[in-house]
Every structure is written in C-alpha cells, then in structure tokens.
Structure 1
Amino acid sequence: MEAANPDFAQAVRAVVLSMPAAKHLGFDFGRIEPGAVEVVQPYRQELTEHNGFFQGGVLGSLADFAAGSAAGTLLPPGWVNMTIDYTVKIVAPAKGEQVIARGRVVKPGRTTTVAAADVVAVSGPEETLCATALVTMRNIKV
C-alpha cells in the first residue's frame, strides 16, 4: 500500500495522540507504516478488571485506535477518519506487562475504509492473541 501523504506517520501520531481518549489510555505507537500500525499499551492497574486482566472495553478501544490509525496512514493531507462501526471478539484473557494492537487496512476507499486489528497480551517474550476486531472508518476532508 502506498501513503498519499509523505508525512503520514507524523500526521497519524499528531491527530490520534491529541484525542482526549488516547491521552486517558496513555498508549503510544510502535511501528507506523502505510496501511499498518502498532499501538502499545503498558499495563496500568486502572485499565484492568478485578483479576488483573486488561478490561474488555480497553481492548476494544485499542483495536479501534490501531485499525483507525492504519486507515489514517493512507489518507491524503487534510483528511481524517472516524469510526462508523467495529466488532471485537475477545478470544483469551489479556494479562501481561502490555498489550499491543496491530492494525491493518483490509480495503481502502475514498469515503470508507475497512480495517482490522489483532490485540496481543505480552508477558516477557510470550505473546497471546486476546482479541481481534473488524473496523469500518468514514474518511472526511477537514
């Protein structure tokens, strides 16, 4: 996939990390490539449920941010995207030092983009797939 904006990585980071929800979660980006993004969420007790597992809504939010950010890497300058819908399937408990959401574009489009994300829990060298999501984004010229 090819980025329409040569500054796509900087643009995605700036837009996403300025969002109040992203600031609240406190995640950062790993890799940012055309059509693919990693969102890295360190463990924080306030993001867990009573057994120390990352809470399901947090996993969904991270998947949404990762997939939407991946879609954002393909937008031209002056465009942003917003989530139309997403479906998350939690497939295992998420416990570890961090979770990583790996977003990827499935089908780019002018007005809508379909993306996906897999979320893994990282504990030492081990990664466990804990959630997968399908996300539809609306592309908007601002």
Structure 2
Amino acid sequence: MTELSFHMAQQVLDSQPFSALVGARITEFGDGAAVLEVDVREELTQQNGFLHGGVLSYAADNALTFAAGTTLGAAVLTGGFSIQYVRPAGGRTLIARAAVVHTGRRQAVVRCDLYTADDERAERLCAVAQGTVLSALPT
C-alpha cells in the first residue's frame, strides 16, 4: 500500500482541474478521515442563492475518497455514493467531514457529513453522504 501524507493529498487535490476551479482544500487528513473545505462564493450557488447541490456532491465524493485513501492507499476510485440533502446550504464555508466506517482488503465504506459554517465558524448540517471506495490497484 502506498502511504499518502497530508502534503501529498493536497498535491493530488491541487492536480484536479475541477477541484482548483471550485477552490477546494484539504484541512485534515489521516487515520481513516479527511476534511475538505470550499469557500462559498456566488459562482457556486444556484438561483436561490444557496450553494449548488452539485458542489455538495463534489465535496462529498472527494472527501469520501480521500478518507478511504488513508486506509486503502493512494490509488482509489469511488465505487458509488448516495447523498441526502438535509437543508439548503448557506454560509461562508462548506465543510465535508468524511470518516471510514469499514475497510476491507479492496474496498472501504465511508460516511461524510457536510456542514456550512458562518463567519464565526458556527456549523449547520446540510447533507449526509455514504459511499463505497474501491482500491484501483490490479488484483
């Protein structure tokens, strides 16, 4: 298994053109968990001024795979995930906190809670996601 450090994880994220476009950053990484943050800005909102659901899905997907990467190694792919939107996402920062629930030899089940934080960093839950992440290494 290839160990992935916090610095390497941020480099992987930075190498993804869409992640750069969204302005995502990793703020925590390791021991079966990862936190991804995105600053809310007008270009990422929908017609009612809330953060677009696609941005929440993006954040969940990447947080899930980065968390799984801490247990499966660097070469991972999303096998699938579901997301439930709890409330409209308003605020200053989107925070996606993912944690591995179970890891097998070639896959991990991961949960991600998505929050928005205001200027004082008070958080409100806006979505919950769960998915399966697969090792991309050949058998």
What TM-score does the superposition give when structure 1 sets the normalisation length?
0.88
Identity percentage of aligned residues: 33
Task: Give the counterpart letter for 1:139 in structure 2.
Answer: S
Task: Give the counterpart letter for 2:33 in structure 1.
Answer: A
Task: Give the counterpart letter for 1:49 in structure 2.
Answer: Q
Deviation at 1:4, TM superposition (A): 6.8
Partner of 2:136: 140
Does structure 1 residue 50 correspond to structure 2 residue 54?
no
Distance 1:117 1:68 in 2: 10
Give matches, 1:72-87, under 5 Å.
Answer: 72-76=69-73, 79-87=74-82
Q: Give the RMSD, CA atoms, in angstroms.
A: 1.8
When residues 108 and 11 of structure 1 are mapped into structure 2, their CA distance, relative to the original with a 3 A threshold, is farther
| Residue-by-residue CA offset, 1:13-70 (whole Å, 9 max, x unaligned) | 2223211221221111111121111101001211101221101111011011111111
The gaps in structure 1 that reach 5 residues or longer are: none
2:124 pairs, out of 124, 128, 132, with 128
What TM-score does the superposition give when structure 2 sets the normalisation length?
0.90
Task: Give the counterpart letter for 1:94 in structure 2.
Answer: A
When the two structures are aligned, how many residues end up with a matched partner?
Answer: 137
Task: Give the counterpart letter for 2:88 in structure 1.
Answer: P
